[in-house]
Structure 1
Amino acid sequence: MMSTDKGASSTNNPLEQFVLLSKNAKGAAAVELVKQVISTPGVHVFGELLSMPNIMELEKGPNACYYHTLCLFAYGTYRQYLENKHNLIELNEIEKKKLQHLTIVTLATEMKCIPYSVLLQDLDIKNVRDLEDLIIEAIYSDIIHGKLDQKNSQLEVDYAIGRDTQPSNMGQVISTLQEWCDSCEAVLACVESQINRANVEKNRALKHRDAIEQEVINIKKTLKSQSQDTDESMATDSREAISQVGSDKTKKVVKTKGIRGSGKFWQK
């Protein structure tokens, strides 16, 4: 069970085993460790190893070129290797290709679409075919994600792994992060303002709706009251009309009987 966890840890962080070995590696052992780490596939960050005391000791001794080479893989580019070979160790083909891949990563942080002309110059490659093969290898190695735009002779980068940050650049990193935090706070304040405005409008709309509903209720009550008054008035008028009709009929009957009786009296 423990060996499985250790293996998983090494897989997730391939540099970790070199950091552990560096604790006891001095002199020639430290030099050999540097050789191994710059040629090992999957190791693309080296800052943690550079900070180990036994590795830092190489900078001031006869093996300083190994320390500088490790720094190159951590922060530098293939062009810098060509310009400073006298301070660095000679790289084999595997190490050169790895440094070229890391150079593409550095260029990807500066521009999303990298022209072939820039890549050919910075990677010291003579033809486009070899350049595209190198880019495809970097993509399959999951160092970058992107596509070759052969029509426009450029590499379109969607993603690139992160590289180590030099201590001298930490101020710039902090400044960038602070700007990002300030922007986030500004956006958050704007969002909160919009939320408050939306809540005010919502409450206003709810009050307006309640007022309309209450007005509708009042109108219904008024109409119902008016309808009841109208019905009562109509019923009263009907009763009065019926009463009047009944009275007229009674008067007519009485009048008729009175006339008939009077006639009979005179006949006698």
Structure 2
Amino acid sequence: MLTEKVSLGSSNSPVEQFVLLAKSAKGAGACELIKQALEAQGVYVFGELLEMPHITELENTEHSKYLNLLKLFAYGTYREYLAQKADLPELTPVQQKKLKHLTLVTMATEKKCIPYTDLLLELDIKNVRDLEDLIIEAIYADIIHGKLDQKDSQLEVDFAIGRDIRFEDIGTIVDTLQQWCDSCETVLSCIETQINRANTDKSKSLKHKEVIEQEVANIKKTLKSQTQDVDEAMATDTQSGSSVQVDKTKKTVKGSRLRGSGSKFWQKS
């Protein structure tokens, strides 16, 4: 019979050493091993232990209730334990708290916002203070992540660890995953359509931009040519006007000299 507590040491998987010990533990020793595994800190999955031959051999024996208890911790909830309590071993305080933590995990995988009323019922807790203490313990144990919304009296879940899976649930899981894959394919197809449409619009926009830039360049070229013609015309008119002015000036000067000369010629002595 196994009487010493199992030390988890530095094992990568918290349940690994229990699995190793289950290779040699039989009968009452296997029952003791199960009780220790259910109380062990950090052990929240039990599938590997359930697959061990000496554990499965407990079926239909005087120790079968411990095998059923192990299955309850692997797949069930605290409410289910209360319903089957007469046929199962009495839980220790540590086991009771762990099963409630696992019940929290199950509820967290079904809803992202869990009302306190549902939690109080499923966990068989009488007041909100004790409920919030249990939730905080589960968060510190790193089996769920979330926050307490005391205003709306609910638990908002961000993350929850996975639990063991019953063999009969595998078909449902496969169907769910297939639906998820189909949804991903639909979303991917929609995204590809949007990308193609965006690329087409971008191509049209670039061509339109090129046409506009070419038109602007042509207009600038035309305006530049017209400006040059106007400048040349203005330069020609300016040169012609200056020549006439000079001629007029010369004539005026010449006329003044003649009048001056005449005045001097007829002056009396």
Matched, 1:39 2:33: no
Q: Using the TM superposition, give the Cα deviation of residue 40 of structure 1 relative to its aligned residue in structure 2, in angstroms.
A: 0.3
Q: Structure 1 residue 117 and structure 2 residue 93: aligned?
A: no
Q: CA deviation at 1:151?
A: 4.5
* One-letter amino acid of the counterpart of residue 178, structure 2: Q
- Deviation sequence 1:182-206 (CA, Å, 0-9, x none): 1111111111111111111111111
Secondary structure in 2 aligned to 1:147? strand
Kindly provide the amino acid, as one letter, of the partner of residue 172 in structure 1.
Answer: T
User: What is the percent sequence identity of the aligned residues?
Assistant: 64
Counterpart-to-counterpart distance in 2, 1:241 and 1:107: 102
Q: In the superposition, relative to structure 1, how do residues 172 and 210 fare at CA in structure 2: closer, same or farther (>3 Å)?
A: same
Task: Give yes or no for the alignment of 1:180 onto 2:180.
Answer: yes
Alignment of 1:88-107 (within 5 A): 88-107=88-107
**1:168: which partner in 2?**
168
Partner of 1:156 in structure 2? 156
Of stretches 233-242 and 145-154 in structure 1, the one that deviates more from structure 2 is 233-242
Distance 1:203 1:65, change over 3 A: same
Look up the SS of the partner of 2:146 in the other structure: strand
Alpha-carbon offset, residue 31 of structure 1: 2.2
**TM superposition score normalised by structure 1:** 0.78
Query: The residue matched to 2:57 in structure 1 has which SS?
Result: helix
- Structure 2 equivalent of residue 260 of structure 1: none
Partner of 1:54: 54
1:265 matched residue in structure 2: none
Q: What is the CA deviation profile of residues 92-127 of structure 1, one whole-angstrom value per residue up to 9, with x for unaligned ones?
A: 111111111111222222333333333333222334
Query: 1:118-142 CA deviation, whole Å, 9 max, x = no partner?
Result: 3333222334443333233223222
Q: Tell me, what secondary structure is at the counterpart of 2:114?
A: strand
User: Residue 58 of structure 1 aligns to a residue in which SS?
Assistant: coil
Matches of 2:48 and 2:105 in 1, distance apart?
Answer: 19
Cα 1:244–1:171 change in 2 (3 A) is: same
The amino acid across from 1:55 in the alignment is: I
What corresponds to 1:215 in structure 2?
Answer: 215
- Give the distance between the partners of 2:236 and 2:124, measured in 1 at CA: 112
- The alpha carbon displacement at 1:69 in A equals 0.8
Residue 39 of structure 1 deviates from its aligned partner by 0.8
1:76 is aligned to 76
Query: Per-residue displacement from partner, 1:210-230 (whole Å, max 9, x unpaired)?
Result: 111111222222223333334
CA distance in 1, matches of 2:192, 2:74: 42
CA RMSD in angstroms comes to: 3.0
Amino acid at match of 1:124: D
Q: Which runs of 5+ in 1 are unaligned?
A: 1-5, 257-268
| CA distance in 2 between partners of 1:146 and 1:217 (Å) | 62
Give the match's secondary structure for 2:89. Answer: coil
Match of 1:229 in 2: 229
Instruction: Tell me the SS of whatever aligns to 2:58.
Output: helix
Q: Distance in 1 between matches of 2:53 and 2:221?
A: 90
Determine the structure 1 residue equivalent to 2:204: 204
Distance in 2, matches of 1:152 and 1:96, equals: 28
One-letter code aligned to 2:209: R
Structure 2 counterparts to residues 132-151 of structure 1, below 5 A: 132-151=132-151
Q: What secondary structure is seen at the aligned counterpart in 1 of 2:164?
A: coil
Q: Which moved more, 1:196-205 or 1:218-227?
A: 218-227
Cα distance between partner residues in 1 of 2:57 and 2:71:
13
Aligned length: 246
Report the Cα distance in structure 1 between the residues aligned to 2:187 and 2:68, rounded to whole angstroms. 43
Range that drifts further, 27-36 or 124-133: 124-133
Distance 1:117 1:227, change over 3 A: closer
1:149-196 Cα distance to aligned partner (Å, 9 max, x none): 444443333332221121111111111111111111111111111111
Q: Which runs of 5+ in 2 are unaligned?
A: 1-7, 256-269
